[in-house]
Amino acid sequence: MSDCLFCKIIEGSIPSDKVYEDNTVYAFKDIHPKAPTHVLVIPKTHIPTLADAQDPTMLGELMLKVNHVANDVLNLEAGYRVVINVREGGGQEVFHLHAHILGGKKLPF
Ligand code: 5GP
Ligand code: ZN
């Protein structure tokens, strides 16, 4: 998607602070962190929202990669939170599916 911010981050035409990449996902630091550690994990395929996701393999991969990044890259052994905002009502601002990883402190509800 040529007009998608996160597709541009994946292709490298917009810079990002990458923490992990493989054949299916790309993970980078959120530009406005809401916790000491705040990373976004995005599928390399353009899917606008979780509500548009149809592929159980892609969704399963995304969740397993979230756990891999949190544990093995970010070292969040104490735990972390995963947030997926869905559409405007859920607070989604960038319409390329992404999971927020938040951690590095005890998170309030
Ligand atoms: P959403 O509200 O869509 O769930 O989350 C979008 C997230 O993307 C926000 O937390 C916002 O700070 C982050 N963000 C928006 N633009 C950029 C950018 O250009 N670079 C990075 N690294 N993060 C961004
Ligand atoms: Zn995209």
Q: For the chain, give the mean pLDDT.
A: 97
Report in angstroms the alpha-carbon separations of 75 from 27, 36, 59: 14, 13, 23
* Domain-wise residue ranges, the chain: 5-103
Q: Could you state, in chain order, the average pLDDT of each consecutive group of 10 residues for the chain (109 residues)?
A: 92 98 98 98 98 96 98 97 98 98 94
pLDDT recorded at residue 25 = 98
pLDDT recorded at residue 75 = 98
Among 10, 25, 16, 6, smallest CA distance to 70 is for: 25
pLDDT tens, residue by residue, 26-52: 999 999 999 999 999 999 999 999 999
Report whether CATH 3.30.428.10 matches the domain 5-103: yes
Assign 3-state DSSP to the chain and report helix, strand, coil percentages, each to 5: 30, 25, 50
Catalytic residue status for 98: yes
pLDDT recorded at residue 34 = 97
DSSP 106: P
**Cα 76 to middle of ligand 2, angstroms:** 27
Ligand nearest to the CA of 44: 2
**Cα 39 to middle of ligand 1, angstroms:** 10
pLDDT recorded at residue 31 = 98
Which residues lie closer than 8 Å to 100 by C-beta, 6 or more apart? 30, 38, 39, 40, 81, 82, 83, 84, 85
Rounded CA separation 69/52 (Å): 24
pLDDT recorded at residue 2 = 78
From 31, 50, 52, mutation site for ligand 1 pocket: most ligand atoms within 8 A of C-beta: 31
